[in-house]
Structure 1
């Protein structure tokens, strides 16, 4: 125990330009310092109501079941499959990156028969390929896609896929962990049935919550299950009773994180969604231009590059680990490396939420000039 009895911990301030988390607004930290109160206290219930209403705005939906799961973004993915998949169900998943691959693993663990629609990492999946797979498997309960693939920096168009799912019983499940709060996520317009995100990327709240919204169509499927949801903690029927009018105890809510999310969402709407999305787009383009000037080449498919996460191939002459280590240790700048099969091959540079500022681009480019000179 003695080694844990040292002085206070004072982590260095970092400019978080990796794939997440992003830097946190000081008002969010201030909100987190408010007193902890009970999980059924009228004041925290009012806070939860405000969170739900603002999340509907972020997701651009009227879904009544719109809440924040008390766990990280991965819990949103788990909840999106564990609630709707029963053993033997057919699930069609578009796979073009690390987190789409994880979707297949989660669905398989729920007992699903997974139909993969594979695409090269770094490219978007042609919507026609997804529609073709759905037509070949009309019995599919779920169609799963990642809107913004964090491992590659690719944006996936959803409109055509959603229009097809609207015509039948298949539920469209979308991972918006990277895009939520930094790019349009039009749940109702695009026909998305289940959509989840995270608190720590474009919303610029510390990690620990996963916003999720569920359509009436999906809730009907959930209520008609033949078996109980395998996870008690992620059971949306139980969470609905806690977040909804019944206010039935489900778990001890992380009220400090609820304070944080409420404040983070308020900051989003003070800026305005349109202005926020434009900021990410303009500065994302600027970052891409600056990195190309150093010899880094865009990795993601042209026309489908995420504004808040830029992926670039590492030049042959560059020492990936050494440069990123110097950026972190000498300049306090975090930049993400490649994930999975792209380890050592690309960088993933984030401009998310609070980190999406011109001065941070200048910090990175200035540091790179010194390191590479």
Structure 2
């Protein structure tokens, strides 16, 4: 069998802290034990604090793709027009859900190294009367880019449009609030910047979104794993579950949320932004080119890097993994073979992890015949971190 990695510095799931791992080993409880009901309620309260919201939160019991599909299934009626904003693989992917549930897609697309311009959103809404929903990816992990969701959400509200926001790798990477950002259904994952276990969909739901779910034609979605309304009528209203929750994953989520709040969400987001900026400085010092068209749209979660001429994506990543034990990510979907990604989420958003990652990248590039100036990448990154921890 393959040796386990020394470091997981991928695009997620990411490493969990030793505290989270210990907390996930707490005794297994029956999900209707009063202690677990109290624990689940406490976890939901923590999630509201991390989201900085008074909206209802729902923790659906599967990886965030469940929450993303559930939003489409529960909101979109046949014939509804949906403005889908595409700046990467996941944005384009959402069209499948829109059309699976009978929606009519209106697309605003940009190259996958760019971000959506809010002016284009306004224009699309003005030129296409009757759009009911807008879907957008906050943090396009495969591209290492972010979209200006706060500005987009404000425009959607002007037109009375309900928003569906994929913030799977955005939550805790930036300071956000569904109310302030115009997010009606926000979907996040614990396995990215929060550094928690995969397997849960972390959702915040506005009153307007609940109303739209109740008004879905020909009938609201009920009695299915995809039903968000079932969580409203069972958990939110009766403190019961529509099905058995993933008890150990909830332990891990509670731990990750608690640690984020102890550090402070502003500090968590600042730490991710600082390490991402340092990583970009190190990458450029190695003579490599960033994938995002501009640094101001570069994601705090991962740094995406154009593959240098003469190197093969799989060869580079396999070399780093097999020889040095570090797992990084390649491109995904249409971007496969065009870029590779350095992850710096959760506890990996720290100078020690970054120094190790850049040093091994430098060593591996040299191993494969790419010219490097020894110490350039780590040195440039560390030079940006003066005052870290002060």
Q: TM range, normalised to the smaller chain?
A: over 0.9
Q: Distance in 2 between matches of 1:317 and 1:293?
A: 19
329-338 vs 11-20, greater mean Cα deviation: 11-20
Note if 1:331 corresponds to 2:297. no
1:209-224 to 2 correspondences below 5 Å: 209-224=200-215
Q: Distance in 1 between matches of 2:32 and 2:102?
A: 35
Task: Work out which of the residue numbers 85, 94, 98 in structure 2 matches 1:107.
Answer: 98
DSSP-derived class of the 1:312 partner: strand
DSSP-derived class of the 1:68 partner: strand
Note if 1:353 corresponds to 2:346. yes
DSSP-derived class of the 2:29 partner: coil
Q: Distance in 2 between matches of 1:144 and 1:219?
A: 16
Structure-2 change in CA distance of 1:230 and 1:140 (3 Å):
farther
Structure-2 change in CA distance of 1:369 and 1:301 (3 Å):
closer
Q: Distance in 2 between matches of 1:270 and 1:212?
A: 21
Structure-2 change in CA distance of 1:118 and 1:10 (3 Å):
closer
Q: Answer yes or no: is the 8 Å Cα contact 2:79–2:102 preserved in 1.
A: yes
Structure-2 change in CA distance of 1:142 and 1:11 (3 Å):
farther
Q: Distance in 2 between matches of 1:81 and 1:282?
A: 35
Task: Work out which of the residue numbers 155, 179, 187 in structure 1 matches 2:178.
Answer: 187
DSSP-derived class of the 1:19 partner: coil
Q: Distance in 2 between matches of 1:234 and 1:309?
A: 30
- Which runs of 5 or more residues in structure 2 are unaligned? 367-390
Q: Distance in 1 between matches of 2:3 and 2:35?
A: 32
1:129 corresponds to: 120
DSSP-derived class of the 2:13 partner: coil
DSSP-derived class of the 1:66 partner: strand
1:199 corresponds to: 190
Q: Answer yes or no: is the 8 Å Cα contact 1:55–1:67 preserved in 2.
A: no
1:271-282 to 2 correspondences below 5 Å: 271-282=263-274
2:238 corresponds to: 246
Q: Distance in 1 between matches of 2:246 and 2:293?
A: 39
Q: Answer yes or no: is the 8 Å Cα contact 2:213–2:220 preserved in 1.
A: no
Q: Cα deviations across residues 146-188 of structure 1 (Å, max 9, x unaligned)? A: 1011111111002332122223431011110111112122211
DSSP-derived class of the 1:145 partner: strand
1:1-373 to 2 correspondences below 5 Å: 12-63=4-55, 65-226=56-217, 227-229=219-221, 232-302=224-294, 303-373=296-366
Q: Answer yes or no: is the 8 Å Cα contact 2:222–2:229 preserved in 1.
A: no
Q: Distance in 1 between matches of 2:282 and 2:120?
A: 35
Cα shift at 1:246: 0.6
Q: Distance in 2 between matches of 1:293 and 1:192?
A: 38
Structure-2 change in CA distance of 1:10 and 1:369 (3 Å):
closer
Structure-2 change in CA distance of 1:245 and 1:41 (3 Å):
farther
DSSP-derived class of the 1:103 partner: helix
Q: Answer yes or no: is the 8 Å Cα contact 1:48–1:243 preserved in 2.
A: no
Q: Distance in 1 between matches of 2:36 and 2:345?
A: 28
Q: Distance in 2 between matches of 1:135 and 1:214?
A: 26
Cα shift at 1:362: 1.5
Structure-2 change in CA distance of 1:86 and 1:207 (3 Å):
same
- Which runs of 5 or more residues in structure 1 are unaligned? 1-8
DSSP-derived class of the 1:141 partner: strand
Q: Cα deviations across residues 34-84 of structure 1 (Å, max 9, x unaligned)? A: 111122221111112112111112222110x20211000111211111110
Structure-2 change in CA distance of 1:231 and 1:165 (3 Å):
farther
DSSP-derived class of the 2:153 partner: helix
Q: Cα deviations across residues 12-55 of structure 1 (Å, max 9, x unaligned)? A: 14422221111101111111111111222211111121121111
Q: Distance in 2 between matches of 1:32 and 1:159?
A: 34
- Count the aligned residue pairs: 364
Q: Distance in 2 between matches of 1:281 and 1:319?
A: 29
Cα shift at 1:231: 6.9
